[in-house]
Amino acid sequence: MSIQTVNPVNNNVIKSFEEMTDSVVDKAVTQAASTFEIWKKTSYKHRSDLLHKLAKLMREKKETLATMITLEMGKLLVQAEGEILLSADILDYYADHGEKFLADKHLHPTHGEALIRYTPIGVLFGVEPWNFPYYQVARFAAPNIMIGNTIMVKHASIVPQCGIMIEELFKEAGFPKGLYTNLLMSGKRASALVSDKRIKGVSLTGSEVAGASLASEAGKYLKKSVLELGGSDAFIILEDADIDKAVDWAVVGRINNNGECCIASKRFIAVDAVADEFLKKFTDKMARLKIGDPMHKDTDVGPLSSEAAANQIAEQVDRAIKGGAKAILGGKRVEGEGSFMQVTVLIDMKPDNPVYYEELFGPVATFYRVKDEQAAIDLANDSPFGLGGSIFTKDIARGKRVADQMDTGMVFINHPTWTQADLPFGGTKGSGYGRELSELGIDEFVNKKLIRVSGLTDPF
């Protein structure tokens, strides 16, 4: 498989890379394993200082790093800059709080003394997606570096230069060789690496197919895994919602990152009383979005990340329409060069539509009218995914009651699903398992070792 930077604005190949051979990968694992033996003995202060340096470097180089994100996968430049800042915040967050999160936890057993001590487990292997090339790495690497683990990352094949730049940043910040390694290799080879005895845990953010492949290998070799997979977040508009604000957030929730977010609002579910008003205002606003070059400040929606991604979503929309849905806005690829898709709103999606249960990864919204709150909850839960979801209502107690009934890992009231360093992130059902970010994110790849102290008594 070729590893290339292809600019999705015009599909010109910018740079090609050779995949690493098995022997180069093997040497890199050896290095990561031997660095672990040293790294695990370093102090929290040392780890924290280096993470802070890395965060500072990222902020200083924000424009350069963001420009490469935009070039490789089409994110709006302004959002790419936001991603760099968010990633730096995540590094700082774990640098500031890691030691406290990992402090001994004293237990109160019926007899004697006991505590939980948090110890590192070794080399971790992360497989990352292209949609947030820096943020995904930051949320996996930062807590684990504080724990004392070492990190190997196989980044998505369409963002090879971002992957290389991240590794260079670690070196420049002063991390030792083998602490963070970028592996230039295809997804197909990634699962094979899981069997390596020196790899102690694996994490994947991406599709269900890739997740199942990696996690089944992890299961076979008895290794811990964390999966952050797809989503089809519901965005519920109740009759007491502020409709204008809900519309503004609905557009942001669907269009952020050109619609290529696992936590994007994808299914808009409005109760009957406000459905007409919401749909009209939402469609009008979506229709005014300007599609164009993601480097330009006045562009609202850039290209999809690749020609394959644009073809995939256009094919799904086509199939949805053949299956009975109607496009009241857009519905096709944008003609001309580049991997652009029209901003699209689909109505009349029914459970028997072949696309009803699929994730739509691009600027395509589906709209549903339901009779009341309970019907909205039922529809929201009628999904193989369980990542996030939103409820718009002025009655916060009601919003919390609805949130209780949503089968997802995250629910946001009066906001699309979002992310920040101090909020846990993750899903249920087909969206995966485990959590990243916040204190919970430091809990996945760590040995919670029980140390029990007993008085010296006779065994009999």
Q: Which residues here bind ligand NAP, judged by CB under 6 A? A: 127-131, 154, 156-157, 186-188, 190-191, 205-207, 210, 213-214, 228-231, 262, 359, 361, 387, 431
Least separation in angstroms between residue 318's CB and ligand NAP is 19
Least separation in angstroms between residue 189's CB and ligand NAP is 8
Q: Is 262 a catalytic residue?
A: yes
Of the two residues 7 and 431, which places its CB atom closer to ligand NAP in the complex? 431
Q: Is 261 a catalytic residue?
A: no
Of the two residues 225 and 393, which places its CB atom closer to ligand NAP in the complex? 225
- Integer Cα distance of 327 and 344 in angstroms: 7
Beta-carbon contacts of 194 under 8 Å, excluding residues fewer than 6 positions away, are: 125, 202, 214, 217, 218, 221, 223
Give the active site residue among 217, 228, 359, 444: 228
Q: How far is CA 325 from the centre of its chain?
A: 29
Least separation in angstroms between residue 206's CB and ligand NAP is 3
**DSSP E strands, 162-279:** 180-182, 199-205, 224-228, 233-237, 265-271
Q: Give CA separation, 52 vs 307, 379, 423, 460, in Å.
A: 37, 44, 20, 54
Q: Are 420 and 135 in contact (CB under 8 A)?
A: no
The label of the residue with tokens 């480097």 reads 295
Structure tokens at 288: 């005014």
Least separation in angstroms between residue 428's CB and ligand NAP is 11
Angle at 78 between CA 241 and CA 146, to 5 degrees: 90
Of the two residues 103 and 209, which places its CB atom closer to ligand NAP in the complex? 209
Give the active site residue among 262, 359, 373, 436: 262
Of the two residues 279 and 387, which places its CB atom closer to ligand NAP in the complex? 387
Of the two residues 120 and 409, which places its CB atom closer to ligand NAP in the complex? 409
- Looking only at the bridges linking them, the beta strands covering 224-228 and 199-205 are parallel
Of the two residues 151 and 270, which places its CB atom closer to ligand NAP in the complex? 151
By C-alpha distance, which of 381, 391, 385 is closest to 417? 391
Of the two residues 292 and 426, which places its CB atom closer to ligand NAP in the complex? 426
- Integer Cα distance of 334 and 342 in angstroms: 6
- Integer Cα distance of 77 and 71 in angstroms: 9
Q: How many CA atoms lie within 13 A of 348 on its CB side?
A: 10
Least separation in angstroms between residue 180's CB and ligand NAP is 16
By C-alpha distance, which of 182, 105, 179 is closest to 146? 179
Output DSSP code: residue 190: H
**Residue 307 amino acid letter:** E
Least separation in angstroms between residue 224's CB and ligand NAP is 16
Q: Which residues are catalytic?
A: 228, 262
